[in-house]
Amino acid sequence: MYGTEELLTFRQSCREFLQLEAVPYLEEWEKQGIIGRSFWRKAGEAGLLGIGVSPEFDARGSRDYRYAVILTEELIDLGMTAPVIISHNDVIASYIDAHGTEEQRQRWLPGLCSGKLIAAIAVTEPSGGSNSAELGTTAVRSGDHYLVNGRKAYITNGINADLVLVAVRTAEAQSGQGTSLLVIERDTVGFTRGPLLRKIGWHASDTADLCFSNCEVPASNLIGRENMGNFYFMLGMPRERLSIATVAVASSEILLKETINWVKKRKAFGQSIGSFQYNKFTLAELDTEVKIARLYLEDAVSKFNDNALSIVDAARVKLWTTELQIKVADRCLQLHGAAGYMNSSFVGKTWANSRVQTIYGGSSEVLKELIGKSMGL
Nearest to 51 by CA among 5, 79, 24, 13: 13
Rounded distance between C-alpha atoms, residue 122 and residue 165, angstroms:
6
Would you state the pLDDT for residue 91?
Answer: 81
DSSP calls for 199-267: -SS-TTS-EEEEEEEEEEEEGGGEESSTT-HHHHHHHHHHHHHHHHHHHHHHHHHHHHHHHHHHHHH-E
pLDDT at 58: 65
Would you say the C-alpha torsion 19, 48, 187, 131 has a positive or negative sign?
Answer: negative
- Asked whether 97 and 143 are in contact (CB, 8 A), the reply is no
Class of domain 230-375: mainly alpha
Report the alpha-carbon distance of residue 333 to residue 362 in Å, rounded.
26
Question: What is residue 129's predicted lDDT score, i.e. its pLDDT?
Answer: 64
Residue from 30, 125, 240, 253 carrying the catalytic annotation: 240
Instruction: Look at residue 54 in the predicted model and tell me its pLDDT.
Output: 82
Give 289: exposed, middle or buried? Use CB within 10 Å, 0-12, 13-18, 19+.
middle
For the question of residue 240 being annotated catalytic, the response is: yes
pLDDT recorded at residue 45: 94
Q: How much is the pTM?
A: 0.94
Could you say which of 1.10.1740.10, 1.10.540.10, 3.40.50.2020, 3.50.50.60 is the CATH number of the domain covering 5-117? 1.10.540.10
Q: What are the residue ranges spanned by the domains of the chain?
A: 5-117, 121-226, 230-375
Q: Under 8 Å CB-to-CB from 201, ≥6 apart: which residues?
A: 349, 352, 353, 354, 355, 356
CA distances to 12, 170, 243, 271 from 87, rounded to whole Å, are: 23, 24, 9, 45
Question: DSSP string spanning 178-216?
Answer: EEEEEEEETT-TTEEE-PPPP-SS-TTS-EEEEEEEEEE
Helix axes 229-265, 346-354, angle to 10 degrees: 150
Q: Taking the chain (377 residues) in consecutive chunks of 10 residues, what is each chunk's mean pLDDT?
A: 85 96 96 96 94 76 88 95 89 90 96 95 84 82 96 96 96 76 97 97 96 98 95 93 97 98 96 97 98 98 97 98 98 97 93 96 95 97
Phi, psi of 8 (to 5 degrees): -65, -40
**What would be the CATH architecture of the domain defined by 121-226?**
Beta Barrel (2.40)
For the chain, report the end-to-end CA distance as a whole number of angstroms.
36
Q: What pLDDT does residue 320 have? A: 98
CA distances from residue 355 to 91, 111, 285, 290, 359 in whole angstroms, order as listed: 21, 32, 21, 17, 8
Helix 229-265 to helix 311-336 angle (10° resolution) is 30
Alpha-carbon distances of 64 from 2, 10, 339, rounded to whole Å: 11, 12, 40
Longest Cα–Cα distance of the chain, Å, equals: 78
Residue 174 has what pLDDT? Answer: 62
DSSP assignment of 344-377 equals: T-HHHHHHHHHGGGGTTTS-HHHHHHHHHHHTT-
C-alpha 161/C-alpha 115 separation (Å) is 11
